[in-house]
Amino acid sequence: MKQHIAHIAMVVDDYDEAIRFYTEKLNFDLIEDTSISETKRWVLVRPKGGECCLLLAKAAGDEQKNRIGNQTGGRVFLFLYTDDFWRDYNDLLAKGVNFAREPKEESYGIVAVFEDLYGNLWDLLQPSLHHV
């Protein structure tokens, strides 16, 4: 048996601003942007070379709108692994991405916490060789 996670839904306020952030600031690829109805689109983005996609889902109703930017109650939500921490860290800084926690050497690798456009927390992480 083989299984994998294909998509992770992320509640967003606006499709187009979310697409711009993920493709222009984080250098993700836009995999699909298909209109489903007048108000709903199927929007997939993913890191270059990655397999799992983010499904950007526009919030519908107050309950979903209240979750934008805090889908995990203030914990780090997603983990973006990189093969070159300093290249990506400096690129994100140059593009105005806000870091909530500065880079730190840990036993498992180099890590810093950044915020997406809505405030969700992400780890930017280059794992050490024995944690890959």
- 1-68 matches 72-132 in fold: yes
d(CA 88, CA 76): 18
d(CA 25, CA 17): 11
pLDDT at 34 over 60: yes
pTM: 0.92
Average pLDDT over residues 40-44: 97
Q: What is the mean pLDDT of the chain?
A: 95
Q: Where are the domains of the chain?
A: 1-68, 72-132
Superfamily of domain 72-132: 2,3-Dihydroxybiphenyl 1,2-Dioxygenase, domain 1 (3.10.180.10)
3-state secondary structure of 54: strand
Res 132: pLDDT: 56
3-state secondary structure of 93: helix
d(CA 120, CA 72): 8
Q: Express each pLDDT in 111-120 by its tens digit.
A: 999 999 999 9
Q: Express each pLDDT in 75-121 by its tens digit.
A: 999 999 999 999 999 999 999 999 999 999 999 999 999 999 999 99
1-68 is classed CATH 3.10.180.10: yes
